[in-house]
Amino acid sequence: MPHNPLLAPWDMPYGLPPFAAIRPEHCEPAVRTAMAEHLRELDAIAANPEPIDFANTAVAFDNAGATYKRIALVFANLVAAESSPGLQAAELAVMPLLAGHDAAVLQHPGVFARLTTLFDHRHGLGAEKLRLVERLHLDFCLAGARLPAQARQRALEIAHQLAELQTHFAQNVLADERDFVIELSAADVASLSAGLQSAARQAAAERGHNDAYLLPLSRSQVMPLLATCPRRELRERVWRAWVRRGQLQAERDNTAVIQAILALRHELASLHGYSDFASFALSDTMAGGPQAVQQLLQRAWQPALLKVRGERDELAQLAAVNGQSEPLAAWDWRFWSDKLRTARHAVDDDAVKPYFSLRAMTAAMFDCAKRLFGLSFVEQTGIATYHPDVRVYEVHGQNDQMVGIFLTDNYARPSKRGGAWMNEYRYQKKAGGVVLPIVGNHNNFAKPAAGQECLLSLDDARTLFHEFGHGLHGLLSNATYERLAGTRVLRDFVELPSQLFEHWVLEPAVLAQHARHAQTGEPIALALVENLLAARRFGGGLETVEYLSSALLDQALHTDPSVKLDNLDLWERTELDRLGMPAEVMPRHRLPHFLHLFSGPEYAAAYYVYIWAEVLDADAFGAFVEAGDPFDAAVAERLKTCIYSAGNTQEPGAAFRAFRGRDPDVAAMLHKRGLDTV
């Protein structure tokens, strides 16, 4: 190939990738070239005749593979945010290459020998240097560097195979969410709110059907419909399609993919001497193993079951009183719950949404970042990105010094995977010269028609703030070494900065300033703010049981190597019955579309991390409550230093204690979810 923009110098502003020039055919050749370059750099480190020291081993390894890392990051981001048939074909070829290379890097015998010598003589290093050496050595050990040669080779093969299977899994889910749309009749459309009607018309237009109304399988449209649509048959039709993503087409059924992934994961754990994959995967977490995870999940599960059963009985009675002759079903729950919440707390989503426009909530989150951490976000126009919806911001800190680049990509589209996530195009570091982070936030809000505001539900607004919390974690990073920078922390600590930032969505001071009606500019009424605050824990049983059941299924799958999933639906229902799950409730994620578990390794056996981090975030926000000010300067500075900027430069338990002055208390999480009074 005469010119490959992925391998050429990137001359875009701020070092952004040359998005407009990248083509699917560039990806595999660039990855292969960069992989070879990276391995040559590692060979040079291993062959260095100078005495082993921190600089020529740990720092050299941390700095190696710069070309490979930047290509791998942009590729992974593009296949998630703006895929295409060509890019999906490239993904099937490239993802196994990336996984195999990453595993091979962490098994490099010469580099591992030098790191082991450095590790054995690490005492006397400064705190951050010590942390880097210990983390790198553990990375190598977990990748199999200490295994016998045959086992190391098998671990490499498993990495290849898992990457291919995980890619198939994700592509199957994306295809269902992209291709399966529900065509709405005139009666269906008439039963929808004005916002859902507009979104359905927009979704049809995007697919070339200008005279139709289509409902795609997007959470930002499915959940509001289930909550507000009075047509029970439409709710059922939408719900059944929603929960069968990953199974909607026989040729894309993820059942066999899941079986193969689980078998390989358990084999990998066995190679490392563990009885099950969860024990292996959780060995490098705050929890330390499945037992601690189960203890936390069960502590919340039993009160959550009591709470959700009470909610079920209330809703069944409300449905019957209002003329529903059929028993309460899963597709009824949100509809009657919304009616009850409106009656009890005078909180109507259609009345609330105009005060939570995307424009206003973006300004609110930027303002919170300014008041807490001194950050300013300055939009830059005219910069080519991978899609016109993407917006680019310079991020400035103290003395107007630039600290990073922030990209937002907020709207759903057929070429984008579902859900919400944060990514990094470039990690922050200081060794070898200051490198500023490039961070992206992705959401899947329904895009409004031209000239209209994007109105968010309260759940959408929380998601916006959640992902921005991850973004701040990357942008505020102040680590010396890339391996310790930003979000590269233990898996059950990474959700703390994101979940903590959600607390500011409903802060009265934030709402008073930013929650203004999208059309009139009128500030939100104090009475409505009070109602929103009073309703915070309404329906908490459903929310908690939906989440916890998914986390418990995750643990069951990854702690028992003998699990058989020939009939996936039957296994799932049997396991839920064993847990005491009400039949009217479904897990937040059914296994065929459980991207957290099966599209990559990060959350496998680790979906519990959200509630583990909630123990931390609920207690952490208590520091502001105790100070009497959600923007208390001293608490905010401590939060920035100990949590958002620290990256992985210290053990996470120590980081939390440095901020809070003590270990976290689980009672704060139980109170936040309303489980302490059940």
Cα 332 to Cα 422: distance, rounded to the nearest angstrom? 33
Tally DSSP H helices, then E strands, for the chain.
Answer: 29, 7
Q: Sort strands 438-445 and 376-380 into parallel, antiparallel or unpaired.
A: unpaired
Query: Which are the contacts of 185, defined by CB distance < 8 A and separation ≥ 6?
Result: none
All residues at 6 or more sequence positions from 348 whose CB lies less than 8 Å from its CB, including other chains: 342
In whole angstroms, how far apart are CA 383 and each of 105, 389, 393, 426? 35, 12, 10, 17
Backbone angles phi, psi at 384, to 5 degrees: -70, 130
DSSP 8-state assignment for residue 249: S
502 is annotated as an active-site residue: no
User: How do 402-411 and 438-445 pair as beta strands?
Assistant: parallel
Distance in angstroms between the alpha carbons of the first and the last residue of the chain: 65
- Considering 82, 394, 467, 543, which one is annotated as catalytic? 467
Where does residue 612 rank: exposed (0-12), middle (13-18), buried (19+ CB within 10 A)? buried
| Dist. CA 229–CA 11, nearest whole Å | 50
Alpha carbons 668 and 678: distance in angstroms, whole number: 15
Cα gap 445→464, rounded to integer Å: 10
Cβ atoms of 642 and 648 within 8 Å: the answer is no
- Among residues 528, 365, 547, which one has the least CA distance to residue 461? 365
Number of Cβ atoms within 10 Å of the Cβ of 29 = 13
Sign of CA dihedral 610, 616, 621, 626: positive
CA distance 355 to 435: 38
Task: List the alpha helices (DSSP H) in 518-590.
Answer: 526-534, 540-559, 568-579
Residues 272 and 280 sit within 8 Å (Cβ to Cβ): yes
User: For residue 34, how many other CB atoms are within 10 A of its CB?
Assistant: 21
Alpha helices in 106-148 (DSSP H): 109-120, 127-142
How far is Cα 331 from Cα 193, in angstroms, rounded to an integer?
Answer: 18
3-state secondary structure of 285: coil
- Rounded Cα distance between 79 and 572, Å, is 30
Q: Which residues pair with residue 393 across a beta bridge?
A: 379, 406
Cβ partners under 8 Å of residue 645, min gap 6: 476, 477, 478
Contact status, residue 361 vs residue 374, Cβ threshold 8 Å: no
Report d(CA 65, CA 94) in Å as an integer: 17
Tokens (6 digits) for 59: 């720092």
Catalytic residues: 467
